[in-house]
Amino acid sequence: MIVVEWIRQIRRMRTWACFALLAAVPVIMTVATYVSPPRERRFEINLFTVLTSSGINVAVAALLVMSQFFLVVVVAAFAGESVSGEATWGTLRYLLVRPVSRARLVLAKLGVAYVLTLIAVFVITGTALLAGTIAFGWHEPTVVKTTTLFGEATVPLPVKIAIGEGIGRLSLASGYIALTMLAVVAIGIFLSTLTDSTAAAVVSTVVAVVASGVLIQVPSLSGIKPYLPTRYWDEWHTLFNGGTTADMYKGAASALIYTAIFAVLAVWRFNRKDILS
Amino acid sequence: MTATLDTTLAVQAAGLSKRFGGVQAVDGLDLAVAHGQVCGLLGPNGAGKTTTVRMLVGLIRPDRGASALLGAPMRPSHPVLRRVGLLVEKPAFVPYLSGMRNLQLHWRAGGDPWPPPGLDFAIDIANLGAAVDRKVKGYSQGMRQRLGLAQALMHDPDLVVLDEPTNGLDPAETRRIRRAIGDISSRGTTVLLSSHLLAEVEQVCTHALVIDHGTLVASGTVADLVGASHAVEFEVDDASRAADVLRAVHGVLAVRAGEPPEHRLIADLDGVARSEAVRALVHAGIAVETVVPRRRLEDAYLALVDEQ
């Protein structure tokens, strides 16, 4: 079933269009920055202002820009379509009487949607690294380090790190983002088993992620904040801005727990569903 | 519940019921199809045929009752479905893949190596020629239907369940599909064919189950169900006078009005030949236009359909 689902996705124009879109953004970003580089301003140093220092920095910036929303939409499209798409075509009923067990069908679709997600993250990091290196060279990347001056004021300062170290942190960041997206895949698959409409499944997945982001902003809801799925999504920034990386473990655990919950829910729910499509 | 199921039958259901919202789609349905039959599941649109078929193959869970295919009590994704070929409502394919690629994916989804044992026969039946390698997107309704039939047949199933296989097809395509069903049954495969067309069931099936409002109304061999009955319809110039004449003929059991009542009447003849009755009418000076033997199920079934 996994192979079959893989062939179904990979032979699809839409899959390739998604990857092409994901590749286009870092390239556009690189070209734009190359044409008009950010002006250096003292005391305003962040991961975008140091972008021109190395191809690795371009990749970091691309992940910063895209992991919040653009990647989520693409991942939601992969996951949300997987079951509801078959329902829309009517092929779902034929698969189930082949017979393919319902649990296997859901898990195969989750697996393939996640492989596509891994490729999506790799496409962003890879094209950004390539385009960035062509534009700004293969140099030691710059990270931002917060330093305390005169015992009171904290000031962000640019610090060079070794290329190997930079690549290591970039890989770690990509892996972390991929792991957080696993939870999105599981949520998307679950919502995909609820409806026969692909659009509804994809949109509601994106809405769920956005809603989580909005709830985090509400101060009076700080009590539930640690339990929201997107709470730890940005923790990988600490790899490059000198923060403490301890919360990345919590983020990884949170993603795995959300994945497990929604995968189980999807199988449970799909097992009980009357297939009317 | 499963204890009531007879495992020697190809298809069986006992007390099958399903409710959708406020609508009782299937209500305590009992049915049985023996091996080797070509059995029609006949009923007007909305009678519960598709819901029944979906329950029989485990796509819908019945609220009450149980069913079995080839002796195996049904539950979702039961392995016995490997011996069943299925066409539920319309065939469905991945539009951007070729017909052959669709068959391949469908087969491999079950974890078996390509090709399936009955592929050649199935491709033959589908009769798609070179089009089998073109994308399904460009297929006509008839081509899809035939590819769907090929998908249902490619693994040499012991039982084929076809739900409205000729719906929406032109007459030539319809004839093709019906001929194919004949070919399938001549190989010893049991066929359950749902249809709202009496003529289709009559033409293709050996047995029939008639359902309406989700319950079984009649069942038996097609010959028994739709064969000639004692009833004969006469078209005459003066129906009321003809009725009086026929009532006087020995062996005429009952006479009732036809449609329109002034020109048609229906008489049940028992032990008296049609020619005998015509002779009596003509002798009484009544002009006879046509004499048509009625078929048993027709009145009842047309009444069901007219209700809609």
Which ipTM did the prediction report? 0.84
Mean pLDDT over B10-21 rounds to: 94
Q: How many residues does chain B have?
A: 308
Residue bearing the bigger pLDDT, B89 or B294: B89
Residues in B closer than 8 angstroms to A85, CB to CB, are none
Q: For testing the chain B interface, which of A1, A94, A102, A112 should be mutated: the one with the most B CBs within 10 Å?
A: A94
> Is A275 within 8 Å of B95 when comparing Cβ atoms?
no
CB A242 within 8 A of CB A146: yes
Cα A175-A59-A159 angle, rounded to 5 deg: 100
Which phi and psi (to 5°) does residue B34 adopt? -85, 160
Q: What share of chain B is helix, strand, coil (3-state, %, to 5)?
A: 40, 30, 30
A89 min Cα distance to partner chain B (Å): 6
Residue B108 is nearest to which of A3, A96, A275, comparing CB atoms?
A3
**Residue of chain B whose Cα is closest to the Cα of A14:** B96
Cα B182-B186-B187 angle, rounded to 5 deg: 125
> Is B60 within 8 Å of A275 when comparing Cβ atoms?
yes
pLDDT of B228: 61
B135 at interface of A, judged by CB pairs closer than 8 A: no
Mean pLDDT over B141-169 rounds to: 92
Mean pLDDT over B278-290 rounds to: 92
B60 at interface of A, judged by CB pairs closer than 8 A: yes
B89 at interface of A, judged by CB pairs closer than 8 A: yes
**Residue of chain B whose Cα is closest to the Cα of A1:** B109
Which phi and psi (to 5°) does residue A182 adopt? -60, -40
Q: What is the CA radius of gyration of chain B?
A: 23
Which residue type is seen at A101? Answer: S
**Residue of chain A whose Cα is closest to the Cα of B93:** A91
Say how far apart CA B221 and CA A66 lie, in whole Å. 67
CB A116 within 8 A of CB A14: no
CB A22 within 8 A of CB A107: no
- Return the number of CB contacts < 8 Å for A and B: 81
pLDDT of B2: 46
Closest CA to A12 of A66, A77, A97: A77
Which residue type is seen at A167? Answer: I
Task: Mark the ranges of chain A whose per-residue pLDDT is less than 70.
Answer: 40-43
For chain B, the average pLDDT equals: 89
Q: Are strands B84-87 and A153-160 parallel, antiparallel or unpaired?
A: unpaired
DSSP count for chain A of H helices, then E strands: 10, 2
Task: List pLDDT tens digits, range A20-42.
Answer: 999 999 999 999 999 988 776 66
What are A271's two structure tokens? 């097992």
Q: How far is CA A208 from CA A76, A85, A203, in A?
A: 10, 20, 9
**Residue of chain B whose Cα is closest to the Cα of A99:** B77
pLDDT of A153: 75
B56 at interface of A, judged by CB pairs closer than 8 A: no
Q: At what angle do helices A2-10 and A102-136 cross, to 10 degrees?
A: 40
Residue B1's pLDDT band (cuts 50, 70, 90): very low
pLDDT of A42: 64
B61 at interface of A, judged by CB pairs closer than 8 A: yes
Q: What is the CA radius of gyration of chain A?
A: 21
The model carries a pTM of: 0.87
> Is A89 within 8 Å of B92 when comparing Cβ atoms?
yes
Which phi and psi (to 5°) does residue B228 adopt? -65, 140
User: Which residues does A175 contact at the CB level (< 8 Å), separation at least 6?
Assistant: none
CA dihedral B18, B21, B25, B30 (to 10 degrees): 20
* Sign of CA pseudo-dihedral A148, A153, A158, A164: positive
Range 8-27 of B in CB contact (< 8 A) with A: none
B110 at interface of A, judged by CB pairs closer than 8 A: yes
pLDDT of B303: 65
pLDDT of A40: 67
Residues in A closer than 8 angstroms to B94, CB to CB, are 8, 89, 91
B32 min Cα distance to partner chain A (Å): 21
DSSP-based three-state secondary structure for B234: strand
Residues above pLDDT 70, as percent of chain B: 94
At which residue do the structure tokens 């062996």 appear?
A: B251
Q: Long-range contacts of range A227-234, CB-CB < 8 Å, 24 or more positions apart? A: A227/A254, A229/A183, A229/A184, A229/A187, A229/A254, A229/A255, A229/A258, A230/A180, A232/A180, A233/A67, A233/A68, A233/A177, A233/A180
Q: What share of chain A is helix, strand, coil (3-state, %, to 5)?
A: 70, 5, 20
Task: List pLDDT tens digits, range B176-222.
Answer: 889 989 999 998 999 999 999 888 998 899 999 999 999 998 898 88
Residue B109 is nearest to which of A100, A102, A275, comparing CB atoms?
A100
Task: List pLDDT tens digits, range B39-80.
Answer: 999 998 889 999 999 999 999 999 999 999 999 999 999 999
End-to-end C-alpha distance for chain B, whole angstroms: 33
What are A148's two structure tokens? 């305390």
**Residue of chain A whose Cα is closest to the Cα of B59:** A275
pLDDT of A147: 78
DSSP-based three-state secondary structure for A174: helix
Residues above pLDDT 90, as percent of chain B: 63
A107 at interface of B, judged by CB pairs closer than 8 A: no
> Is A98 within 8 Å of B106 when comparing Cβ atoms?
yes
What is A186-226 written as a DSSP string? HHHHHHHHH-S-HHHHHHHHHHHHHHHHHHHH-GGGTTTGG
Say how far apart CA A75 and CA A73 lie, in whole Å. 5
A189 min Cα distance to partner chain B (Å): 19
**Residue of chain B whose Cα is closest to the Cα of A12:** B96
A152 at interface of B, judged by CB pairs closer than 8 A: no
DSSP count for chain B of H helices, then E strands: 10, 14
At which residue do the structure tokens 């305390």 appear?
A: A148
